[in-house]
Amino acid sequence: MRKKIALIGGGNIGGVLAEQFAYRELGDVVLFDVIDGMPQGKALDMAEGAPLAHADASLRGTCDYADISGADLVIITAGLARKPGMSRDDLLKTHLGIMKSVAEGVKANAPDAYVIVISNPLDAMVYTFKEISGFPKNRVVGMAGVLDSARFRAFVAWELGVSVEDVTALVLGGHGDTMVPLTRYCTVAGIPVTTLIAQDRLDAIVERTKGAGGEVVGLLKTGSAFVSPALAALEMAEAILKDKKRVLACACYLEGEYGVQGYYVGVPCILGAGGVERVLEVEMTADERKLFDASVEHVRTLVGQIQL
């Protein structure tokens, strides 16, 4: 019996996710959106391509929440993409209303699902989903750190001319300009990157990582990054679906860890069949902790603007 995966939002990221989930045979896919015909058309097109992808998985599009009934995994991209000049936080008001409707729809139709939230502003949207759905913290996680860490890894690999596969990295904190790429924990095949790249170049890579989302938005002009975010969510989804116990930087609900109480913040966690199975608390220098705390403060301020 294949897992049932519901994608709430059939836009840029939702479309890539639907294709990847189905063609990798990770489960049967239901693509939900509010634009009549769009999810149905996208799903039908991908389903007709399945023979060429040598993939047996069902794909269907819908505008009816009843069709996500019993989903094992739900991934939420509902909302609007950023336009040039817009910050992630600018999306807050619009997306609050959307997330409330999504949380009610998922709660009513897939009450036992594991949920990965992607919609921006991420730290506020994943918090909103958890508060409205009432789902336990292990079953609601935000996708940001895996993407931000991938960007950091790519920039380090390009700088050194090495395989991206050999670069590991952790980007913690909120998903915004205050995110904290921890250079001290970045290695190339176990070799600390601080011994391979000069500090000024590392600083430049940190800054590019923090601005990477905006860099793509500025180039695309009509939307934001969507392939790398989809692949980042897929990494998290596979960890849950296959019980891989991956250690990944995810937006997790903290209840005392890192001195944070009752907010979603990007931290390393163990992701498996139980969702967020454990939050890992890493040592930080005073400087790193100062940056992390500033990022947490930004999350607190953002969430403080939410009236549920």
118 in contact with ligand TXD (CB under 6 A): yes
Of the candidate residues 144, 180, 252, 270, the single one contacting ligand TXD (CB under 6 A)? 144
31 in contact with ligand TXD (CB under 6 A): no
Q: Which is nearer to ligand TXD, 119 or 183 (CB)?
A: 119
Q: How far apart are CA 301 and CA 89, in angstroms?
A: 11
116 in contact with ligand TXD (CB under 6 A): no
CB of 71 closer than 8 Å to CB of 6: yes
Strands 4-8, 73-76: parallel, antiparallel or unpaired by DSSP?
A: parallel
- Look up residue 212 and give its amino acid: A
Q: How far apart are CA 93 and CA 287, in angstroms?
A: 33
Binding mask 224-243 for ligand TXD (x = CB under 6 A): xxx--x--------------
Could you say which residues in the range 76-105 bind ligand TXD, by CB under 6 A?
Answer: 77-82, 91, 98, 101-102
75 in contact with ligand TXD (CB under 6 A): no
List of residues 6+ apart from 63 with CB closer than 8 A: 32, 33, 34, 35, 36, 39, 40
Number of residues located near ligand TXD, criterion CB under 6 A: 33
Q: How far apart are CA 116 and CA 66, in angstroms?
A: 19
Q: How far apart are CA 172 and CA 184, in angstroms?
A: 12
194 in contact with ligand TXD (CB under 6 A): no
42 in contact with ligand TXD (CB under 6 A): no
Of the candidate residues 5, 7, 11, 258, the single one contacting ligand TXD (CB under 6 A)? 11
CB of 39 closer than 8 Å to CB of 63: yes
Active site annotation includes 54: no
74 in contact with ligand TXD (CB under 6 A): no
211 in contact with ligand TXD (CB under 6 A): no
- Look up residue 112 and give its amino acid: D
Per CB under 6 A, which region of 23-31, 202-210, 218-226, 272-280 contacts ligand TXD?
218-226
* Least distance to ligand TXD, CB of residue 248, Å: 13
Residue 11: Cβ-neighbour burial (10 angstroms; 0-12, 13-18, 19+): buried
Q: How far apart are CA 247 and CA 150, in angstroms?
A: 14
Could you say which residues in the range 279-308 bind ligand TXD, by CB under 6 A?
Answer: none
* Least distance to ligand TXD, CB of residue 6, Å: 11
Residue 186: strand, helix, or coil: coil
* Token pair listed for 11: 């836009």
220 in contact with ligand TXD (CB under 6 A): no
Of the candidate residues 7, 8, 30, 271, the single one contacting ligand TXD (CB under 6 A)? 8
| Active site members | 175
